[in-house]
Amino acid sequence: MVKLLQLNKYTFAGTQLKKICSCVFLFVLSCRLHSAQPITSPETLTPPDTSPVFELVTLGDAGGIQDGNLSAFLLRALSEPNYIALDAGTLVNGINVALSNNAFEALPVITDKTLSAPGNILHHHIKGYLISHGHLDHVAGLLIASPDDNEKPIYALKSVNQTMSDTYFNWQAWANFTDRGTPPLLNKYQVIDLAPQKSLRLKNTQLQVTAFSLSHPLESTAFVIEYQDNLFVYFGDTGPDEVEEQGKLATVWRYLAKQMQTKKLKGLVIEVSFDNRQTDNLLFGHLTPKWLMSELTYFYSLVDNKQQFQNIQVIISHIKYSLKSGLDPRDKIQQELQQGNTLGFNFILAKQGQRIIF
């Protein structure tokens, strides 16, 4: 928070004005944290090098059990109308919620009269899927929409694509809409294996992806997306390194810290599934606010120019929906993140239908 307040020094002089601006800034920030609205803070409160480059639309924010709102995001460079889907737990329902929130208002939409509004987004603006792992809460929307989807690639690590073929696209759980595995092949989806830590251009977009393996009950993935000299990271489900003992998150943090010597990290989506009451033996490859702070603190220690963190949006996903009465898990996690945020990270809780530019 202290660091964020320092931002005012860039644009304002005079103690009184500074105080007023600090209050406005705090208010805007707290609105952002409380309602997770799109970033709409006045430009005068934005440091000079933070013009937005990416747009993220949240199609699904939760990590189970609420069908219709499961992990899925759309990302595009603002310079083009083409999204890549980051997981697809919820797809058509998420597009509909985003449409009713006017999240695609700034998108130069291709109007194909043969298709509905969600049909236009799905067919003409989503150019491929990046799948972090094969758990149902990350792929159910893709599977369910596949009969009426159009041709596009599915990108994932080899083991993830194997799980998709063996478990779903096998003519038992579902028809095989892909170009590999159990015949007959319907060839709608071109399945592309990502080599770990090697970058690849995503077809029909200006984006590049580099995949990193993550620790989870089955292999999961972090996708570093690059556009010119800007970076964004999407983390699939992951446990903390100290619990998983595989050092996989540390590999991603080190890679990012190195990249940040010449490039700008604009934002990241990372999971917090449970609040801090969850004991380590019951994490099942997930993070809590405490463990996220521990990971981010390590990342922070690797970066020389700490100012860069002021311009990074940390978007929290995969909060587990609860059927229990009492405190909403989102409120509890938000509280714990705020309390533990001694380094001044910009946290935003992802919310279905929300559009964020950064």
Q: Which residues bind Zn ion (CB under 5 A)?
A: 63, 135, 137, 237
Q: 8 or 220: whose CB is closer to Zn ion?
A: 220
Three-state DSSP class for 138? helix
Residue 27 or 284 with smaller CB distance to Zn ion: 284
Burial code of 299-323, b = ≥16 C-beta within 10 A, e = fewer?
bbeebeeeeebbbbbbbbbbbbbbe
Q: b/e per residue, 271-286, with b = 16+ CB within 10 A? A: bbbbbbebeeeebebb
Name the DSSP letter for residue 212: E
Provide, rounded to whole angstroms, the least separation between the CB of residue 17 and Zn ion: 46
Report the residue number, 135 or 152, with the smaller CB distance to Zn ion.
135
- Closest separation in Å from C-beta 298 to Zn ion: 22
The pair of structure tokens assigned to 297 is: 């603190």
Looking at this protein, which amino acid is placed at residue 354? Q
137 versus 226: smaller Cβ distance to Zn ion? 137
Question: Which tokens go with 173?
Answer: 């759980």
CA-to-CA dists, residue 17 to 28, 291, 346, angstroms? 16, 38, 23
Single-letter amino acid, residue 334: Q
In the complex, what is the shortest distance from the CB of residue 164 to Zn ion, in angstroms, rounded to a whole number? 14
Which residue's CB is nearer to Zn ion, number 82 or number 352? Answer: 352
Q: Pick from 101, 221, 99, 98: which is nearest to 158 by CA?
A: 221
Instruction: Tell me which H or E stretch contains 254.
Output: helix 248-259
CA triplet 58, 59, 64: central angle to 5 degrees?
105
What is the smallest separation between the CB atom of 287 and Zn ion, expressed in angstroms?
11
Closer residue to Zn ion, CB minimum distance, 82 or 215: 215
Residues 6+ apart with CB under 8 A from 187: 151, 177, 178, 179
Nearer to Zn ion, 226 or 237 (CB): 237
Min dist. Cβ of residue 89 to Zn ion (A) = 7
Q: Which is nearer to Zn ion, 271 or 295 (CB)?
A: 271
CB of residue 71 vs Zn ion: minimum separation in angstroms?
6
Q: State in angstroms the smallest separation of the CB of 60 from Zn ion.
A: 10
List Cα–Cα distances, 326 to 36, 136, 205, 332, 351, in angstroms: 21, 27, 44, 10, 20
Closest to Zn ion by CB, 137 vs 336, is 137
For 222-225, which contacts have Cβ atoms below 8 Å and span 24 or more sequence positions?
A: 222/132, 222/249, 222/252, 223/86, 223/130, 223/132, 224/252, 224/255, 224/256, 224/259, 225/54, 225/75, 225/84
* Nearest distance, CB of residue 213 and Zn ion, angstroms: 14
Q: Smallest gap, in angstroms, from Cβ of residue 134 to Zn ion?
A: 8
